[in-house]
């Protein structure tokens, strides 16, 4: 971790009246949650189109549920780490001038106490009817029984997460747009490979507005060329130092 980059990141964050923190799976890596990409990533072993798409669910709901059940079982014992806690501290300090935007579905930000947040990909701990009727609700059964689960009317349930090819949740998107409209001074992008198009678009848009973009990651990513400050290191070590 370079001290000068860390110093500039600290200064930018301390001086920001409005701060956004954008997180991905890397923020939960130190809690023991598997990431998607990289040597040990889930997408090395599994094909996203066979497990995380509406077509996959239509084809074989039990297979998709087995995978989600396996992931829920892995995440269940995981606890928030110092990165999640540093983000809560930033929220406490900035108040209304803060928004956490996460691609994570593991629930660890919520467990750490984050409240001002937009959950772009839903939650692995919530379910909803596969026919699209009604809202979603919390279901913490581990293991899930039976697989695939059904509601009392016999309708198939699905994880309330965003799959490939599905739209982003409108309410969460509205939170981000409202925050952008109020102006953004600095953004911390932590633990994401930045492979998803809308994330790349936001990073580009923010940079074109001259917003300070601080990347926190163990290695360069698809977003690195758009970042103005790069702090390389583990999120659980870097974020407390940026926030502190």
In the chain the first and final C-alpha atoms are separated, in Å, by 16
Identify the three-state secondary structure at position 212. strand
Q: Is 121 a catalytic residue?
A: yes
Compute CA 114 distance to the chain's CA centroid, rounded to the nearest angstrom. 12
The site string for ligand OAD over 77-116 (x = CB under 6 A, - otherwise) reads: --------------------------x-------------
Q: Which of 84, 109, 121, 230 is catalytic?
A: 121
By CB under 6 A, how many residues form the interface with ligand OAD? 27
DSSP, collapsed to helix, strand or coil, labels residue 204 as: helix
CA atoms of 194 and 221, how far apart (whole Å)? 7
The single residue listed with the structure tokens 């579905």 is 105
Alpha-helix runs per DSSP H in 18-107? 26-29, 42-45, 48-51, 54-59, 61-75, 82-94
26 near ligand OAD, rule: CB under 6 A: yes
Identify which range of 60-68, 108-116, 134-142, 188-196 contacts ligand OAD by CB under 6 A: 188-196
DSSP letter, residue 224: G
The one segment of 32-40, 107-115, 148-156, 201-209 that binds ligand OAD by CB under 6 A: 32-40
Nearest to 88 by CA among 240, 230, 241, 212: 240
CB of 83 to ligand OAD, least distance (A): 7
Verify binding: residue 159, ligand OAD, rule CB under 6 A.
Answer: no
If binding is defined by CB under 6 A, does position 215 make contact with ligand OAD?
no
Question: Binding of ligand OAD at residue 240 (CB under 6 A)?
Answer: no
List of residues contacting ligand OAD (CB under 6 A): 24-26, 29-30, 35-38, 41, 48, 52, 103, 121, 162, 164, 191-193, 195-196, 217-219, 221, 234-235
């Amino acid at each position: 971790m370079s001290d000068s980059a860390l110093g500039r990141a600290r200064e930018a964050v301390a001086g920001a009246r409005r701060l956004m923190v954008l997180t991905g799976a890397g923020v939960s890596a130190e809690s023991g949650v598997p990431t998607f990409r990289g040597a040990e990533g889930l997408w090395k072993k599994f094909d996203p189109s066979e497990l995380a798409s509406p077509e996959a669910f239509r084809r074989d709901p039990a297979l998709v549920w087995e995978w989600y059940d396996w992931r829920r079982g892995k995440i269940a014992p995981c606890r928030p780490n110092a990165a999640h806690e540093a983000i809560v501290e930033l929220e406490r300090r900035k108040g209304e001038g803060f928004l956490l935007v996460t691609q994570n579905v593991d629930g660890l930000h919520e467990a750490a106490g984050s409240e001002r947040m937009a959950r772009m990909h839903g939650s692995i701990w919530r379910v909803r009817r596969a026919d699209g009727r009604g809202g979603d609700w919390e279901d913490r059964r581990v293991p899930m029984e039976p697989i695939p689960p059904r509601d009392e009317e016999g309708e198939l349930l699905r994880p309330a997460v965003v799959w490939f090819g599905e739209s982003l949740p409108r309410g969460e998107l509205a939170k981000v747009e409202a925050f952008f409209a109020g102006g953004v001074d600095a953004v911390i992008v932590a633990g994401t490979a930045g492979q998803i198009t809308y994330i790349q678009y936001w990073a580009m848009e923010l940079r074109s507005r001259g917003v300070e973009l601080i990347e926190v990651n163990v290695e360069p990513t698809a977003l690195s060329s758009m970042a103005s400050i790069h702090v390389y290191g583990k999120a659980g070590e870097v974020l407390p130092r940026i926030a502190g």
